[in-house]
């Protein structure tokens, strides 16, 4: 199967423009299934729907969440669709498998005071601290994905208008805005920290590591985890939490859904609608001001 998996990964990288993080997930999901087939003495070219059902039970036994199982099945469905089109298998057995319904879970976001706790951690006297502060500022100011952040080039930045051209999912281009706070920390980093990190090397990437090379999405997650350890925050926070926070704060302040959809790079408005939840403080304030029996007389 390995030869066909490599062919498939190259195919979706070229034709769909997936990030390395997404490709890694595809590879892991398909390899996990291949390992299961080998242990069960099954040929990946000859499996049918009835042989897939025990694998579903296997995934449930491993206590995977419904969203994870859904992703794994989606990966396998895409893989076998490719194999079928290439004539490697007769048909796609996963076409008959229903994906588990996703759990309806509101995205986690940060309050303003929690953001302040994060932003205060990086040491602005150090080049890595300047870079890490800019990472936080950019993720919150623009709502971009980590995969988009690591691919920002200096040539993508219009510092006069405070606009960044982003290459998103499927290589789709969009422009995002950033404000004065973010510009301040970007200028500090570009004029000091980044120069010190480059160490006479050349790179067009905005965010670089301590060797002057382009940073990875995994490194961003590692950096954020270390920053969180320096705070008193107890929430499970990922880089995507800052994207959720960006959208939540915009909508909470009156931004319309279509604008937020465009800034986030969502194809469907329904994806953006999940951010119409509002903070507990605002909900409480609206209730106290509006309900006749909630107000103090």
169 labelled catalytic: yes
The single residue of 77, 183, 240, 277 carrying the catalytic annotation is 240
Judge whether 229 counts as a catalytic residue: no
For residues 50 and 25, what is the distance between their CA atoms, to the nearest angstrom? 25
Residue 266 is a catalytic residue:
yes
Q: Which of 13, 66, 162, 169 is catalytic?
A: 169
Question: Tokens 């999912």 map to which residue?
Answer: 169
240 is catalytic: yes
Q: Residues 63, 67, 73, CA angle at the centre, nearest 5°? A: 90
- Active-site position among 131, 133, 145, 244: 145
Among candidate residues 72, 133, 194, 243, the one labeled active-site is 243
d(CA 20, CA 14): 12
Active site residue 64: no
Catalytic sites, residue numbers: 145, 169, 240, 243, 266, 275
């Amino acid at each position: 199967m390995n030869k066909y998996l490599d062919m498939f990964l190259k195919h979706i990288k070229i034709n769909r423009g997936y990030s390395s993080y997404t490709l890694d997930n595809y590879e892991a999901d398909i390899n996990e299934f291949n390992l299961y087939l080998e242990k069960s003495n099954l040929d990946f070219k000859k499996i049918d729907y009835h042989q897939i059902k025990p694998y579903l039970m296997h995934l449930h036994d491993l206590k995977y969440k419904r969203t994870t199982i859904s992703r794994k099945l989606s990966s396998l469905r895409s893989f076998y669709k490719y194999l079928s089109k290439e004539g490697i298998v007769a048909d796609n057995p996963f076409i008959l498998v229903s994906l588990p319904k996703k759990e309806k879970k509101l995205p986690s976001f940060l309050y303003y005071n929690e953001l302040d706790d994060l932003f205060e951690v990086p040491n602005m006297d150090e080049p890595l601290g300047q870079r890490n502060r800019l990472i936080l500022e950019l993720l919150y100011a623009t709502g971009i994905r980590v995969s988009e952040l690591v691919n920002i080039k200096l040539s993508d930045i219009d510092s006069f208008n405070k606009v960044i051209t982003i290459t998103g999912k499927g290589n789709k281009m969009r422009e995002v805005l950033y404000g004065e706070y973010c510009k301040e920390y970007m200028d500090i980093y570009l004029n000091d920290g980044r120069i010190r990190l480059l160490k006479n090397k050349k790179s067009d990437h905005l965010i670089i590591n301590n060797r002057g090379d382009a940073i990875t999405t995994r490194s961003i997650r590692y950096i954020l985890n270390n920053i969180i350890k320096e705070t008193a925050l107890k929430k499970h926070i990922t880089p995507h939490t800052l994207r959720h926070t960006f959208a939540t704060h915009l909508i909470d302040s009156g931004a319309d859904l279509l604008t937020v959809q465009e800034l986030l790079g969502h194809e469907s408005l329904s994806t953006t609608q999940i951010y119409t939840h509002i903070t507990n403080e605002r909900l409480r304030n609206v209730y106290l001001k509006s309900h006749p029996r909630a107000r103090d007389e």
